Amino acid sequence: MIERIGPAQHLDATIEVPGDKSISHRALILGAIARGRSYIGNCSPADDVESTMRCLRDAGGWVRAFGRGRVYLDGSGAGATLRTPDGPLDCGNSGSTMRLLAGVLAGHDLNAVLDGDASLRRRPMRRVAEPLRAMGAEVATAHGGTAPLEIQGHRPLHALEWRPEVASAQVKSAILLAGLAADGDTVVEEPLPTRDHTERLLRMCGVDVGIDGRRVTVTPGDPQPFGLRVPGDVSSAAFFLALASARQGWRMRCNGVGLNPGRTGFLDVLIAMGAEIEVEEGEPAGGVEPVGAVTVRGRDLHETVIAGELTVRCIDELPVLAVIATQAHGETEIRDAAELRAKESDRIAAVAHGLRALGGACEETSDGLVVTGPSQLHGAHLDSHGDHRLAMAWAVAAALAREGDCHIAGAEAASVSFPGFFDALRHALS
């Protein structure tokens, strides 16, 4: 599907974005294996989250979804809920579904194959296969360490101490979820801190989780059932907030979004570039996940450097931040972001190519991008490469163009995390 978007004249709007994708995956998985009835409200409508729900059901999970993101789940404990599915579990485009479920399935006495679309079949899976093997599960990958993954679970798994080479919340979460069904405490020590939704939700479920800097320890046990209203997805809000930041006089407010510090790096980047940001904190979701309203007011932006821990804290927002950097004075550098090449597309190559088509100045490095601004963007033919975050980043670029419409091919990919994104954008700009 091709979406056509032209230059925006003005932006002054308030929106509520759908439920958080990362938190929804975890809540569904924990609700499915918790002993007893759990309830989730405002669960994300994203295609990726649908994939998690489908896989859980196909592996024998009890999951009932009703309108407006209400989901009931019932389970029988870690390692005791799921069974061998009739066929391969289809994770669609979702890396979180594949990696997190690999960890859960590994602790059950079952045999399951996790598969996905062409993009997911290109993504690295050795990073989860290796620790799960070390815990006693058999995990076979395709040649090259990619999906499909065939898992022969083992109950109980062996406790493990693991130091992943890459900073990945999905890898950490897979090991911690497997650790629930292990014979002792499991430890993950990350090279850099990543989003800690799994740790927070495990604690919400009464699981013993110790945190000591970058070292996380989980004690085996069954999660307790819970009720959770999922906050709005700050990564979906990011496209609107970033757009408002780039023009003096523009304003955008997003209500009720999750403010987990592992996810709000892009706000720190926008502040460093000169945007004005106001955060009003509300009541934490489930007592564990910070929530609030964020208002961004646009300013004349200037360059910044995104590196190290900050890169990890805004890993999913780097494409849209690169778009914003075309509007900032000076040279903005994104470093330490080699992981971007292993996302739903090679986001470094695709962003550099697209920004140049728009009239921006952008150089690719091995682990990042250098964007020089300000540039007057113009209409262009752009491609999502089947990647939701690129589809939405290009929509932001189209709105910031000074002349000409942009045609975004593969725009339907946005529904992987934000069904209705293009309607919401048009509404905000009207």
Please say if 316 is a catalytic residue. Answer: yes
Q: Does 170 bind ligand S3P (CB under 6 A)?
A: yes
Q: How far is the CB of 342 from ligand S3P (least distance, A)?
A: 7
Two tokens, residue 225: 């059932």
Q: Does 169 bind ligand S3P (CB under 6 A)?
A: yes
Q: Which of residues 123-162 bind ligand S3P (CB under 6 A)?
A: none
Q: How far is the CB of 401 from ligand S3P (least distance, A)?
A: 27
Q: Which of residues 67-86 bind ligand S3P (CB under 6 A)?
A: none
- Cis bond before residue 45 (omega within 30° of 0): no
Catalytic residue among 47, 115, 233, 316: 316
Compare residues 115 and 233 and give the one whose CB is closer to ligand S3P. Answer: 233
Q: How far is the CB of 258 from ligand S3P (least distance, A)?
A: 12
Q: How far is the CB of 298 from ligand S3P (least distance, A)?
A: 26
Q: Which of 13, 18, 22, 223 binds ligand S3P (CB under 6 A)?
A: 22
Q: Which of residues 220-259 bind ligand S3P (CB under 6 A)?
A: none
Q: Does 96 bind ligand S3P (CB under 6 A)?
A: yes
Q: Does 316 bind ligand S3P (CB under 6 A)?
A: yes
Compare residues 49 and 399 and give the one whose CB is closer to ligand S3P. Answer: 49
| Total binding residues toward ligand S3P, as defined by CB under 6 A | 11
Compare residues 170 and 304 and give the one whose CB is closer to ligand S3P. Answer: 170
Compare residues 33 and 399 and give the one whose CB is closer to ligand S3P. Answer: 33
Q: How far is the CB of 409 from ligand S3P (least distance, A)?
A: 22
What span, in angstroms and rounded, lies between the C-alpha atoms of 359 and 357? 5
Q: Which of residues 183-212 bind ligand S3P (CB under 6 A)?
A: 195
Q: Which of 168, 311, 326, 332 binds ligand S3P (CB under 6 A)?
A: 168
Q: Which of residues 321-360 bind ligand S3P (CB under 6 A)?
A: 339
Q: Does 315 bind ligand S3P (CB under 6 A)?
A: yes
Q: Does 289 bind ligand S3P (CB under 6 A)?
A: no
Q: How far is the CB of 83 from ligand S3P (least distance, A)?
A: 25
Q: Which residues bind ligand S3P (CB under 6 A)?
A: 22, 95-96, 168-170, 173, 195, 315-316, 339
Which residues are tagged catalytic? 316
